[in-house]
Amino acid sequence: MPFPPLVAPASALPDGESERAARQIRLPEIGEDGQRRLSAARVCVIGAGGLGSPTLLYLASAGIGTICIVDDDVVDTSNLQRQVLFGVADVGRLKGHVASERIRALSPHTTVVREHERLTAGNAERILAGFDLVIDGSDTFDTRYAVADACDALGVPLVWGSVLRFDAQATVFWSRPPHGEPVRLRDVFPTAPPAEDVPTCADAGVLGALCGQVGALLAAEAVKLICGIGDPIVGRMLVIDALSARTREVPLVPASVTAPASVTAHAPRAVARTIAPEDLDRLDDLLLLDVREDDEFRAGSIPGAVSIPLGRLRADPSIVVVDRPVVVFCQIGPRARAAASALRAVAPDAEILLLDGGYQAWSAGASADHA
């Protein structure tokens, strides 16, 4: 659904900007009027990491007038695989400083604001006040919820993305849209899961090119909202599976709207049952399903387990014949829960259990038994 432009146009473009942005201005949906709106826009980006790096580059190249970078981290060698703002020579430097240099090199008229502090629930509203739009590229749930709550209170749109392994999500949350129902982060994810249940990029890995794809998408959404063009992803979530090169769309239901009975009646049952590693021997004729990656399986698994990595299972859950109890496990637990949900969707009455603590817990117990 189109929205009116978020930002009023600047009175004029800076000298040389018409030439620098000529190919964008040529787009009739943007034109000089839209470019002047971009020049007047104030955008805050949370995090200069995997998502923030490409987002910041494309915001600068688009000609955003003021960009705020909220990041208190330094560049690490392990960042370089996906954080395209940085090079080897930047290792050890503050990300905000390096990002500022890159932005000014792309768009010399852009004003860069740096916030070298960790955004928290206590300082979020102060940091985000005065910006037209916020883009969240952070990587912790505490920060994500602090950003979302502050945006809700301030009434500004939150362009939101998430990437892990080969999977990504993107949407726009907005507590006070010009029309339509507001949809907030807490409408979709009411509370954050326990930190120990969610793998980090360091634990699970991430495809660098997917960070670039989603970061560019977030920047494009910001341009659309600022200029009032196209159909922003408000009220719907884009879900990207990079392994299968498929994108699907999930409608988001605001908290004020009750889901139809037909939806809740056919929703898969929650997978709540777990089994302790020491209790595996008590089950007869079970299927042990290892949903870790092939290299993890080759490095060691539970004897008798079948290897079907999570990405392959999600692409086609029917490849698992669920004709007996299935015990699903990964290294710790999060991937197993996702796999169990996928299996439950195609086999709602099956007996599907999660191995408590995953392979890590089983391996620790096996080592203790042989000590």
Q: Which residues are catalytic?
A: 201, 330
What amino acid is encoded at 216 in this protein?
A
What amino acid is encoded at 106 in this protein?
L
Hey, which residues does 146 pair with through a beta bridge?
A: none
Give the SS3 label for residue 187.
Answer: helix
Hey, which residues does 45 pair with through a beta bridge?
A: 69, 135
- Cβ atoms of 128 and 155 within 8 Å: the answer is no
Angstrom distance (rounded) from CA 8 to CA 33 = 9
Nearest C-alpha neighbor of 63 from the set 87, 32, 94, 84: 32
Buried b / exposed e along 56-68 (16+ C-beta atoms within 10 A): bbbbbbbbbbbbb
Tokens of 52: 């923030």
Tokens of 209: 């090119």
Angstrom distance (rounded) from CA 234 to CA 3 = 10
- Cβ atoms of 43 and 132 within 8 Å: the answer is yes
What amino acid is encoded at 354 in this protein?
L
